[in-house]
Amino acid sequence: MNYKEYHKDWDLGDKKYEVGDIVTRDGTDEHEILTIDYDYGLILVKCIKEPFAEKGEEPWIALGETEHNLIRRYSLVKKGAK
C-alpha cells in the first residue's frame, strides 16, 4: 500500500513541487527542497532562512539544518531555477 491509498485524507491538492523549489511553513522561514517522495508525501528540506523566534527563544530549525517533513505542511515561496 502506498501513501495515496493509506492517507486519502492527506490530499496534496496542487502541491506539486520540484527539487530546488523554495517553500515555507509559517511565512517567516524558507527552505530549499532537496528530495521529494510523493509515494509517502514527504520532502527533505534545508533551511535557508530561519523562522521567527521570540526574544530569548531558539528558532525551531537553524540555518543550514535539514529536516524530513510532510509535503502538506509547506507552501511554495518561489520555483527553483531550472
DSSP at 5: H
Farthest CA pair distance, the chain? 45
Set of cell numbers at residue 3: 501513501
Beta-carbon contacts of 54 under 8 Å, excluding residues fewer than 6 positions away, are none
Specify the pTM: 0.81
| All domains of the chain in start order, with CATH | 3-75 (2.30.30)
Q: What is the edge-to-edge ordering of all strands in the sheet holding 75-78?
A: 66-70, 42-49, 30-37, 22-24, 75-78
Give the pLDDT confidence score for residue 16 in this predicted structure.
80
Q: Are the C-beta atoms of residues 51 and 29 closer than 8 Å to each other?
A: yes
The per-residue pLDDT string of the chain (82 residues; one tens digit each, 9 = 90 and over) reads: 555 555 554 555 566 889 999 999 999 999 999 999 888 889 999 999 999 999 999 999 999 999 999 998 999 999 987 6
